[in-house]
Amino acid sequence: MASLSAEERSALQDAVHRLLAERCTEADVRATMETPEGYDPDLWARLSEMGLPGLLIAEAHGGSGAGPLELEAIMEEAGAALLCSPLLASGVIAATLLAALGDEAANARLLPAVASGDAIATVALTGDKGAWTAGGVDVTASPTPDGWVLDGAAAHVLHAQNADILLALAHTAAGLDVFEVDPTAQGLTIEPAPTFDHTLRLARLTFTAVPAQRLEASGPVWDAVQAALDMALVALAGEQAGATRRCLDFTVDYANTRIQFGRPIGGFQAIKHMAADLLLEAESATSAARNAAARLAEGSPDAPAAISLAAFACADAFVTTTAASIQMHGGIAFTWAHPAHLYLRRARADAQLFGTPGFHRERYLQQLGA
Amino acid sequence: MTEQTDAQLRDEVTAWLAAHWSPERRGDKTWLAEVVAAGWAVPRWSVDWFGRELADPQARIIERAFTEAAAPGSGQDRTNLWANTLLAKGTEPLKAQLVGPLLRGEVGMCLLYSEPGAGSDLAGIRTRADNQGDRYIVNGQKVWTSTAANADYGMLIARTDWDVPKHRGISFFFCPMKQPGVEVRPLRQITNESFFNEVFLTDVEIPADNLLGREGEGWGVLQTALAYERSVMGEMARGPRSGVKDATAEEPLIALAREAGVLADPVLRQQIAQAIAYKRLNALNTARAKADLAQGSSSSIMSLGKLAMSRILHEEARVRTAILGAESLYEGKDHPRAEDANFLTLNAYFTSIGGGTDQIQRNIIGERVLGLPKEPELDRDIPFRDVRTQGG
């Protein structure tokens, strides 16, 4: 995987920062989260021009062939701005899964449109229980004379309501496989689900004898799925770290300007000490996210441990910081008009996707040999 | 001195070490004297003061060569708290008398800062030093002084002016310890050890030449000394606690839970993972801060290290206790695991109170890093003799 130089990475991050500062303001986020699509097609087009959906996709398939370090850097910006987009579903999970499976014909057909942002891809990874393991898959695939058909249900599918390309995990008699499904196929229902985080789009899918095309796998299928999950976790960790930092910053700004008892509330130790503890959370999240990206980029045997560490450290830091932020603001943050609850909602959503903090603490311990 | 290339310097120091150093010389009292005489102890310092006037990168070459040879004595221009403070702020006679012996490790030293009534508020000290012309006479009580029993000198802060606000009436001394008015009493700590002492000072005499900085400017000298102390402690904190750490060794908490037969307990597993994570995250923060510094950008992370370490130590001890359960009821040689857990539980306060409590640390982070308003100080601008004290 060809990584950018540190300067190029920093330039890309700056460009994303400037674009989001202009086009992904709080007002933009609020407007976008009220739309059925849950993303702004114009902004998606601008992000696509910058190459974000194709960041991880090989140059042969129209991407830039970058890796986890670049992804983590731009996700810090995306998280800080609460960007609403299908990037995680399409450019991260679907793109990584396809590349890891290695079905060259499918990749040549599907990846260029994902890379350009013209198509939105997503993967049905798990069932209603939300266990991000092979055992969590509730779809079965059966062979028929006319090809494979899928039956069952998938849940928590990112941006399925917007998907042009739909991939689904399903059990066959021989084990797990990945199938490509036409999102408009007979027998498939895609039911958007109302989400606590209004900037997120999830759908529940039911399959009744839905025709599907099995993708070839060059290795164990779960390894490819795990690769996609690990990349998603690095992206999420970056998002959590960036959002944690932004939330801390606006909370500290408020503590410096809100006057009670004749002085800024940040001068009271009750607030100041909370802020100091949150700085430790924010810095630790940033370190953990960047470390996970670096270990994954270099293909280190420590990568799974680093990714799980980042998964629970960043999730906990983001939830802790946003929850404390509301308390530190007081009444103003109990209003819908204040952005703090938008961050808390995102934090609580991010802490559930691809494994809870408890799941990742357990995985971390197992990676350490226990 | 003619300028050397990096390679020439590396060759010279390596050759010198090969000719002079051998591991058997560890503990040899003459070794440091040779290092000082050869100019390797304080290469950043001037030639007049045992140095070579080298810039930091070349000084690091020397330190690295010493580290690779496992030879002590180099890098003292960064790490020797006493000699650095003295060189920066001392009188010419005192420097001439003590800088060399300090570098050669011939002088025992201790710190006489904290008092029973001046802990977090160190500028509230009440030990007095009265100016008698050629000498000062000191009376008062100091506490939390380690290595006091064998010390030749203590770095002392004492009040020389009671009519100005508290920070402005303090002076800084090298106080001779081997005299009748100095009484050192070991302090029994909650761990049942006696690492620290109380030091009672009664009509103690200090020559006027032993004043560092000017009279009344001791608070500034103290800041210089504390900066050196923090940088030394930072270096120590980054090293392994004992010996070389085996990278393949199992995490101690995992090993303990395995040995205690509770490694399968899902609640403990979560707690063990979290305790290890705190430690790992702190290491990652430190590595990132060092990388930031190397690139020339300052980092706010360094100020977080002590607070993070408090949490690590208290949490490790808590999880150890949870793993042992009822075994932690006991102490003594038949219960070494309980001894460890119980000791660590109490000793964690060494870090969360010593060197600035966690609460003071949070003030510092909030004010200096996050830019929040400073604490109000009711005693800042009034003469010290009018400042309220316990019961006052």
- CATH number for the domain harbouring residue A50: 1.10.540.10
Structural domain contains residue A299: yes
Provide the pLDDT for residue B381: 87
Tokens of B302: 């360094």
Please state the pTM of the whole predicted model: 0.90
The amino acid occupying position A335 is T
What parts of chain A have a pLDDT lower than 70? Answer: 1-3
**In sequence order, what DSSP letters do the residues of B71-138 get, joined into one string?**
-----HHHH-HHHHHHHHH--HHHHHHHHHHHHTT-S-EEEE--BTTBSSSGGG---EEEE-SSEEEE
Has residue B233 got a pLDDT over 80?
no
Provide the pLDDT for residue B234: 58
Provide the pLDDT for residue A1: 43
**A69 and A39 housed in the same domain:** yes
Has residue B2 got a pLDDT over 70?
no
Structural domain contains residue A1: no
Query: Which segment of A161-175, A186-200, B269-283, B378-392 scores lowest on mean pLDDT?
Result: B378-392
How far are the Cα atoms of A250, A268, B274 from residue A262, in angstroms, in the given order? 21, 11, 41
Quote the Cα angle for B213-B214-B218, to 5°: 65
Domain tally, chain A: 3
Instruction: Select from B281, B288, B359 the Cβ nearest to the Cβ of A273.
Output: B359
**A233 and A360 housed in the same domain:** yes
CB contact set of A222 (below 8 Å; sequence gap of 6+):
A134, A176
Tell me what percent of chain A is helix, strand and coil, each rounded to the nearest 5. Answer: 55, 15, 25
**Local structure of A94: helix, strand or coil:** helix
Structural domain contains residue A201: yes
**Local structure of A184: helix, strand or coil:** coil
Higher pLDDT, B26 or B338: B338
Chain-wide mean pLDDT for chain B? 92
Boundary (domain end) residue, out of A159, A193, A220: A220
Provide the pLDDT for residue A361: 98
**A206 and A231 housed in the same domain:** no
- Cβ distance A362 to B270 less than 8 Å, yes or no, reads yes
Q: Nearest residue of B to residue A248 by CA position?
A: B370
Instruction: Select from A276, A284, A368 the Cβ nearest to the Cβ of B366.
Output: A276
Sign of the C-alpha dihedral, residues A96, A101, A102, A105? Answer: negative
State the CATH number of the domain containing residue A302.
Answer: 1.20.140.10
What are the E-state strand segments in A110-201? 121-124, 138-144, 147-158, 165-172, 175-181, 188-193
Boundary (domain end) residue, out of A119, A147, A177: A119
**Minimal Cα–Cα distance from B265 to chain A, Å?**
11
Provide the pLDDT for residue B235: 56
DSSP symbol at A89: I
Q: Nearest residue of A to residue B255 by CA position?
A: A370
- Cβ distance A256 to B373 less than 8 Å, yes or no, reads yes
Domain-by-domain residue ranges, chain B?
6-79, 109-216, 234-369
Question: How far, in Å, CA of B322 to CA of B299, rounded?
Answer: 36
The amino acid occupying position B298 is S
- Cβ distance B257 to A370 less than 8 Å, yes or no, reads yes
Task: Go through B368-387 and write b for each residue having 16 or more CB atoms within 10 A of its CB, e for each that does not.
Answer: ebbebbeeeeebeeeebeeb
Q: Which helix (H) or strand (E) holds A108?
A: helix A104-116
- Cβ distance B363 to A309 less than 8 Å, yes or no, reads no
Structural domain contains residue A126: yes
Angle of helix A340-350 relative to helix A303-329, nearest 10 degrees? 150
What is the CATH topology of the domain spanning B109-216? Butyryl-CoA Dehydrogenase, subunit A; domain 2 (2.40.110)
Q: How many helices (H) and strands (E) does chain B have?
A: 12, 8
- Cβ distance B288 to A369 less than 8 Å, yes or no, reads no
Has residue B244 got a pLDDT over 80?
no
Question: Across the strands, what pairs with B19?
Answer: none
Provide the pLDDT for residue B243: 39
CATH number of B234-369: 1.20.140.10
Which residues of chain A does B264 touch, with a Cβ-Cβ cutoff of 8 Å? none
Question: Across the strands, what pairs with A141?
Answer: A150
Provide the pLDDT for residue B240: 36
Boundary (domain end) residue, out of A220, A254, A281: A220
Has residue B258 got a pLDDT over 60?
yes
pLDDT digits (tens, 9 = 90+) for A318-333: 999 999 999 999 999 9
Q: Which helix (H) or strand (E) holds B204?
A: strand B196-207
Measured in whole angstroms, the distance separating CA B114 from the mean position of its chain's CA atoms is: 14
Has residue B392 got a pLDDT over 70?
no
Provide the pLDDT for residue A282: 98
CB contact set of A68 (below 8 Å; sequence gap of 6+):
A231, A234, A292, A293, A294, A296, A297
Has residue B245 got a pLDDT over 90?
no
Q: How many CB atoms are located within 10 Å of the residue A26 CB?
A: 14
Question: How far, in Å, CA of B336 to CA of A71, rounded?
Answer: 48
Provide the pLDDT for residue A2: 57
Q: How many CB atoms are located within 10 Å of the residue A283 CB?
A: 28
Band (B299; pLDDT cuts 50, 70, 90): low
**Which of A271, A279, A274, A270 has the alpha carbon at shortest distance from A248?**
A279
Identify whether the C-beta of residue B327 lies closer than 8 Å to the C-beta of residue B335: yes
Instruction: Select from A275, A287, A364 the Cβ nearest to the Cβ of B372.
Output: A275
Structural domain contains residue A279: yes
How far are the Cα atoms of A138, B156, B160, B216, B263 from residue B173, in angstroms, in the given order? 76, 5, 11, 11, 55
**Local structure of A185: helix, strand or coil:** coil
Which residues of chain A does B375 touch, with a Cβ-Cβ cutoff of 8 Å? 267, 269
**A49 and A167 housed in the same domain:** no
How far are the Cα atoms of A224, A232, B221, B223 from residue A305, in angstroms, in the given order? 18, 15, 46, 42
Residue with tokens 């100020």: B303
Provide the pLDDT for residue B242: 38
Tokens of A348: 């609580």
Give the residue numbers spanning the domain of A236.
Answer: 222-369
**Which of B277, B276, B255 has the alpha carbon at shortest distance from B324?**
B255
**In sequence order, what DSSP letters do the residues of B280-309 get, joined into one string?**
HHHHHHHHHHHHHHHTT---SGGGGHHHHH
**A162 and A282 housed in the same domain:** no
- Cβ distance B372 to A264 less than 8 Å, yes or no, reads yes
Instruction: Select from A277, A312, A370 the Cβ nearest to the Cβ of B263.
Output: A370
Residue with tokens 């042969």: A60
Has residue B387 got a pLDDT over 50?
yes
Q: Which helix (H) or strand (E) holds B62?
A: helix B56-69
Band (B290; pLDDT cuts 50, 70, 90): confident
Band (B292; pLDDT cuts 50, 70, 90): confident
- Cβ distance A288 to B281 less than 8 Å, yes or no, reads yes
The amino acid occupying position A9 is R
Provide the pLDDT for residue A113: 98
Provide the pLDDT for residue B82: 96
State whether ipTM is beyond 0.90. Answer: yes
Tell me what percent of chain B is helix, strand and coil, each rounded to the nearest 5. Answer: 50, 15, 35
- Cβ distance A272 to B250 less than 8 Å, yes or no, reads no
Which residues of chain B does A291 touch, with a Cβ-Cβ cutoff of 8 Å? 284
> What number is the average pLDDT over the span B353-380?
91
Band (B230; pLDDT cuts 50, 70, 90): confident
Tokens of B117: 């009534």
Question: Across the strands, what pairs with B129?
Answer: B138
**A40 and A148 housed in the same domain:** no
Tokens of B24: 């058997």
Q: Nearest residue of B to residue A358 by CA position?
A: B270
**A149 and A231 housed in the same domain:** no
Identify whether the C-beta of residue B45 lies closer than 8 Å to the C-beta of residue B87: yes
Chain B: which residues have CB within 8 Å of chain A? 250-251, 254, 257-258, 263, 266, 269-270, 272-274, 276-277, 280-282, 284-285, 287-288, 300-301, 304, 307-308, 359, 361-363, 365-367, 369-376
**A241 and A340 housed in the same domain:** yes
Question: How far, in Å, CA of B324 to CA of B333, rounded?
Answer: 16
Which residues of chain B does A361 touch, with a Cβ-Cβ cutoff of 8 Å? 269-270, 273-274, 277
Antiparallel, parallel or unpaired: β A121-124 and A165-172: parallel
Question: How far, in Å, CA of B209 to CA of B189, rounded?
Answer: 36
HEC string of A195-221 equals CCCCCCCEEEEEEEEEEEEECCCCCCH
- Cβ distance A283 to B300 less than 8 Å, yes or no, reads yes
> What number is the average pLDDT over the span B197-225?
97
Question: How far, in Å, CA of B182 to CA of A19, rounded?
Answer: 68
- Cβ distance B362 to A277 less than 8 Å, yes or no, reads yes
> What number is the average pLDDT over the span B156-184?
97
Question: How far, in Å, CA of B154 to CA of B142, rounded?
Answer: 11
